[in-house]
C-alpha cells in the first residue's frame, strides 16, 4: 500500500483496546484504518499471549465490575456470531486470608450487579479443591460464570471481523506526530515509516506500552511499562485434577499471585500480580529470569503439592502498561484536539476491550460524558496502585 489515504478515524495499535475501538467505530459507519507495526496481538504486546482472566470482582469498585459484565456479554456474543469459542467458563475463585474485608466488598458489589457466585469457608474449599493447599486461606468466593479469554486468538478474530466490514487493517509503523502548529490545533495526517501519508478527521493512539515512547513529553512520566514473567507447569501424565472443570482460575491477592487450569494442554499457568521492573517493550529480553523461575517453582510446590517438582513447559515475558493507580487513560491530546489517547490497561485491561471500544466510540461520535477517572489530568507521575 502506498500513496495518500483519507479516513474518518485512524487507530494506531491493534491490541485489544485498539481492535475493539476500530471495530465499534466501523460498526457505526466510520471509515476506519487500523494500523499496527508488528501485527495484531503480536508477541511483544500486552494483548499477546495465550490467555487472560475475565472476572467481575473488583472489591468495592463497581465501575470495573459493570464494565466486565458488559464486556463478557459482548465477547460471548461476538464468538457466537463468528462461530469460534475463545472463552472458557472455568469459574474464577477469589481466595482471602483472615482479613476478609476486600472479599466482603466484592460480594456486596457482585450481589448489586447480579453476578452469580458461591461462598465457601476453608473447609468447603478443601473438600471441593483437594489439589490446592489452603494454608493461610480463610474463605473464598467462586464467580461461577467467569473464566478465561484466549487472548491472541480473540484479538486476531476481532481484527479479522473488522476487516471483513470493508474497513482497512494495515501493517505499518508510524512516525510519532509532533504537536500541531496550525491554528486549528489539529493533526492533519500521520506518516508511516514507509513514507505513506494517512489523513483522517480523528486519530486514536491505542498503542499500549508504546504510548510513552510515542508521546514522551506528555506520557513519558504517566505510563509505566513493567516487565511481567509468566510460567506454565506441566501436569503429571493421566492427572485430570488440573484441567478446566476440576481446577478453576484463581486469584489470591495476599500472595499477589494468580493462575489458570491446564487449558489447551499447555500446563497450569502461574503468574505474579506484582509490578516488575520498568522496561522497554521493543528491547526487553523475553526470556524469564532464573530467580523468578525459582520463585514460581517454590510457590507451586507450596500451593499445589502434586506439582512439586513439575517441569516448567512454557514461559512468557510480557508487560503491564500501568497508570499511576491502575485506572484507564482515555482522553484527548492536550494540544491536538482530534488526537485521542486510549490505554493504561494496567494488567487488568484485556477483559474490558469491548466496553472500552464502545466507550471510546461514544466519546468520539456522541460527545458522551467522560469518566473523570480516565482523564489525563487524573494521571500522576508516581505509582500508587489502587485498582486490582
For the chain, the distance separating the N- and C-terminal CA atoms, rounded to the nearest angstrom, is 42
Separation between Cα atoms, residue 39 and residue 149, nearest integer Å: 19
Sign of CA dihedral 169, 174, 176, 181: negative
Q: Is the separation of the CB atoms in 232 and 314 below 8 Å?
A: yes
C-alpha cell at 175: 512516525
Separation between Cα atoms, residue 55 and residue 319, nearest integer Å: 20
Separation between Cα atoms, residue 294 and residue 249, nearest integer Å: 22
Residues facing 52 on adjacent strands: 149
Q: What is the mean pLDDT of residues 37-64?
A: 96
Query: Pairing relation of β-strands 224-233 and 249-252?
Result: unpaired
C-alpha cell at 311: 517441569
Share of the chain above pLDDT 90, in %: 96
In the prediction, which pLDDT does 1 show? Answer: 40
What rounded mean pLDDT belongs to the chain? 96
Out of 3.40.50.1820, 3.50.50.60, 2.120.10.30, 1.10.510.10, select the CATH number for domain 1-73+148-221+323-388.
3.50.50.60
pLDDT digits (tens, 9 = 90+) for 181-199: 666 789 999 999 999 999 9
Cβ-in-10-Å burial (0-12, 13-18, 19+) of 382 comes to exposed
Q: Is the separation of the CB atoms in 109 and 62 below 8 Å?
A: yes
In the prediction, which pLDDT does 253 show? Answer: 86
Cβ-in-10-Å burial (0-12, 13-18, 19+) of 220 comes to middle
pLDDT digits (tens, 9 = 90+) for 251-286: 998 999 999 999 999 999 999 999 999 999 999 999
Q: What is the mean pLDDT of residues 291-298?
A: 98
Q: Is the pLDDT of residue 305 over 50?
A: yes
Which residue has 515475558 as its cell numbers? 317
pLDDT digits (tens, 9 = 90+) for 214-260: 999 999 999 999 999 999 999 999 999 999 999 999 999 899 999 99
Q: Is the pLDDT of residue 17 over 90?
A: yes
C-alpha cell at 18: 485498539
C-alpha cell at 284: 526487553
DSSP characters over 274-302: S---B--TTTS--SPPHHHHHHHHHHHHH
Closest CA to 360 of 7, 1, 28: 28
pLDDT digits (tens, 9 = 90+) for 103-138: 999 999 999 999 999 999 999 999 999 999 999 999
pLDDT digits (tens, 9 = 90+) for 317-375: 999 999 999 999 999 999 999 999 999 999 999 999 999 999 999 999 999 999 999 99
In the prediction, which pLDDT does 184 show? Answer: 76
In the prediction, which pLDDT does 20 show? Answer: 98
Closest CA to 148 of 255, 262, 66, 45: 262
Which residue has 494454608 as its cell numbers? 135
The residue extents of the domains of the chain are 1-73+148-221+323-388
Element (H, E) at 68: helix 62-82
3-state secondary structure of 225: strand
In the prediction, which pLDDT does 181 show? Answer: 63
Q: What is the DSSP secondary structure assignment for residue 55, as one 8-state letter?
A: -
Q: Is the separation of the CB atoms in 56 and 146 below 8 Å?
A: yes
Q: Is the separation of the CB atoms in 65 and 56 below 8 Å?
A: yes
Cβ-in-10-Å burial (0-12, 13-18, 19+) of 312 comes to middle
Separation between Cα atoms, residue 230 and residue 373, nearest integer Å: 29
3-state secondary structure of 246: coil
Amino acid at each position: 500500500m502506498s500513496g495518500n489515504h483519507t479516513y474518518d478515524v485512524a487507530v494506531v495499535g491493534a491490541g485489544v483496546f485498539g481492535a475493539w475501538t476500530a471495530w465499534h467505530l466501523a460498526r457505526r459507519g466510520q471509515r476506519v484504518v487500523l494500523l499496527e507495526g508488528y501485527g495484531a496481538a503480536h508477541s511483544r504486546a500486552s494483548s499477546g499471549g495465550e490467555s487472560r482472566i475475565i472476572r467481575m470482582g473488583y472489591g468495592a469498585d463497581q465501575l470495573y465490575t459493570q464494565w466486565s459484565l458488559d464486556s463478557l456479554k459482548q465477547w460471548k456474543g461476538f464468538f457466537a456470531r463468528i462461530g469460534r469459542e475463545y472463552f472458557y467458563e472455568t469459574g474464577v475463585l477469589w481466595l482471602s486470608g483472615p482479613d476478609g474485608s476486600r472479599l466482603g466488598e466484592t460480594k456486596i458489589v457482585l450481589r448489586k450487579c447480579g453476578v452469580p457466585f458461591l461462598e465457601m469457608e476453608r473447609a468447603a474449599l478443601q473438600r471441593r479443591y483437594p489439589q490446592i493447599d489452603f494454608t493461610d486461606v480463610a474463605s473464598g468466593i467462586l464467580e461461577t460464570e467467569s473464566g478465561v479469554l484466549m487472548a491472541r486468538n480473540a484479538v486476531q478474530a476481532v481484527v479479522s471481523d473488522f476487516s471483513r466490514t470493508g474497513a482497512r487493517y494495515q501493517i505499518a509503523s508510524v512516525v510519532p506526530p509532533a504537536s500541531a502548529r496550525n491554528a486549528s490545533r489539529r493533526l492533519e495526517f500521520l506518516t508511516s515509516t514507509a513514507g505513506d501519508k494517512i489523513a483522517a478527521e480523528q486519530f486514536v493512539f491505542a498503542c499500549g506500552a508504546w504510548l510513552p515512547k510515542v508521546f514522551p513529553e506528555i506520557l513519558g512520566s504517566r505510563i509505566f511499562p513493567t516487565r511481567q514473567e509468566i510460567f506454565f507447569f506441566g501436569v503429571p501424565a493421566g492427572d485430570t485434577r488440573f484441567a478446566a472443570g476440576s481446577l478453576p482460575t484463581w486469584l489470591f491477592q495476599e500472595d499477589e499471585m494468580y493462575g489458570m487450569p491446564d487449558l489447551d494442554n499447555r500446563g497450569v499457568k502461574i503468574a505474579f500480580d506484582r509490578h516488575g521492573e520498568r522496561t522497554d517493550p521493543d528491547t526487553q529480553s523475553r526470556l524469564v529470569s532464573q530467580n523468578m523461575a525459582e520463585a514460581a517453582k517454590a510457590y507451586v510446590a507450596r500451593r499445589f503439592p502434586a506439582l512439586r517438582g513439575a517441569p516448567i513447559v512454557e514461559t512468557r515475558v510480557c508487560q503491564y502498561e500501568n497508570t499511576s493507580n491502575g485506572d484507564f487513560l482515555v482522553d484527548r491530546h492536550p494540544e491536538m484536539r482530534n488526537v485521542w489517547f486510549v490505554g493504561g490497561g494496567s494488567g487488568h485491561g484485556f477483559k474490558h476491550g469491548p466496553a472500552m471500544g464502545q466507550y471510546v466510540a461514544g466519546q468520539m461520535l456522541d460527545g458522551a460524558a467522560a469518566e473523570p477517572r480516565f482523564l489525563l489530568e487524573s494521571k500522576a507521575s508516581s505509582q500508587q496502585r489502587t485498582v486490582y
